[in-house]
Homo-oligomer: A and B are copies of this chain.
Amino acid sequence: MHTGVPCNMDRLYETAAERGPVCVGLDTAAAYIPPAELRRAPSEAEGVFNFNRAIVEATADLAACFKVQIAYYEALGLRGLECYAKTLRFIRERGSLVIADIKRGDIADTAVQYAKAHFEGELEADFVTLSPYMGMDSLEPWFAHAERHGKGAFVLMRTSNRGMGDFQYLKLQEPAPIPRRLYQAVGDRLAEKAQTHRGKYGYGAFGAVVGCTGPEEAAAIRERYDSLFFLIPGYGAQGGGAADAALLLKEGLGGVVNASRSILTAWTGDRSGQKDPGNSAAAEAARKAVLNMRDALRRIPPSGTQ
């Protein structure tokens, strides 16, 4: 980083190295909250915030970072967005890092406004997720803003959903010996960009979203994009396992693995007898789920030796 502003990707690398690579996803649907707690809350949005707070308190020492999916908050309207802002603030005030999962992508003038919205002020996050469809000039204002303020971003490359094959896997017509797929063209542009911003662990301030639901290419993706720190969705409820995710890490480093539903709803699988547990029991179950996930990711032998 030539600006002298500390790079958030370095901080994330260090936190993940110390606490493990689990990213706790706060995609908090009302259905994930113990019903008694939701009934007690003055509003659904406040119920969501109370639940998030309990989860964050119970998992912060085990989590590399948190990821907050804004859609679940927007669905509750303006009060939901207030709860989104409160959740981000709570996480950051506790000293943890937070990724705003907003997947923005728009023309440069608009990107300037978005970067102001999500890197400053009431909705401030440490990282954002971005969508590359509109091209590199739609990402540049984020990069410039992030550099000035020590923020970071993860750009969609190879996502974890079933439909990712529709466009991301299209093969390109090009003279290269092995024609690339679209996701590789995106990754190559990001890697090129990352060269100019490599932090002290070799990663650029702008990483990539790579789902762990495609183990067949995972090792090749990890090798090709060694300057990109990965945000890895698809673990747990979406079908990815620890072995799949580990292929996208470098001996446990170089990325964070997100799980949302499987952590937030861990309490529903707890058969300890409580019919309607509170947030504290849900948080305890979430903590156990994060520990199990971290242990599972750590049990995988370093890539190349399996």
- Interface, chain A (partner B; CB < 8 A): 27, 29, 69, 71-72, 74-78, 80-82, 85, 103-111, 113-114, 116-118, 121-123, 131-138, 156, 159-168, 170-174, 179, 182, 185-186, 189, 233, 238
A118 to B106, CA, bound (A): 18
Shortest Cβ distance from A170 into B: residue: B172
Give me 7 A-to-B residue pairs in the complex whose CB atoms sit less than 8 angstroms apart, sorted by A's number.
A71-B117, A75-B116, A133-B159, A135-B165, A137-B163, A167-B186, A172-B172
A11 to B137, CA, bound (A): 34
A164 touching B134 in the complex, CB below 8 Å, given contacts A69-B110, A104-B103, A173-B172:
yes
A299 to B105, CA, bound (A): 34
A134 to B105, CA, bound (A): 13
Contact at B168–A179, with CB atoms within 8 Å? no
Report chain B residues within 8 Å CB of A77. 85, 117, 121-123
A179 to B170, CA, bound (A): 12
A107 to B114, CA, bound (A): 21
CB distance from A85 to the nearest CB of B (A): 6
This chain: how many copies in the complex? Answer: 2
A165 to B122, CA, bound (A): 34
Report chain B residues within 8 Å CB of A167. 132-133, 135, 182, 185-186
A161 to B112, CA, bound (A): 14
Contact at A106–B103, with CB atoms within 8 Å? yes
Contact at B166–A182, with CB atoms within 8 Å? no
A135 touching B114 in the complex, CB below 8 Å, given contacts A82-B78, A172-B171:
no
Contact at B106–A71, with CB atoms within 8 Å? yes
4 other A-B residue contacts (CB within 8 Å) besides A71-B104, A167-B185: A74-B113, A131-B134, A135-B165, A136-B163
Contact at A161–B173, with CB atoms within 8 Å? no
Report chain B residues within 8 Å CB of A76. 117
A303 to B189, CA, bound (A): 38
Report chain B residues within 8 Å CB of A75. 113-114, 116-117, 121
CB distance from A20 to the nearest CB of B (A): 24
Contact at B114–A71, with CB atoms within 8 Å? yes
Shortest Cβ distance from A156 into B: residue: B133
Contact at A134–B161, with CB atoms within 8 Å? yes
When the two chains form the complex, which single residue of B131, B135, B166, B179 contacts A103, counting CB atoms closer than 8 Å? B131
Report chain B residues within 8 Å CB of A189. 166
Contact at B105–A131, with CB atoms within 8 Å? yes
CB distance from A265 to the nearest CB of B (A): 13
A162 touching B133 in the complex, CB below 8 Å, given contacts A71-B114, A74-B114, A117-B77:
no
When the two chains form the complex, which single residue of B27, B133, B172 contacts A168, counting CB atoms closer than 8 Å? B133
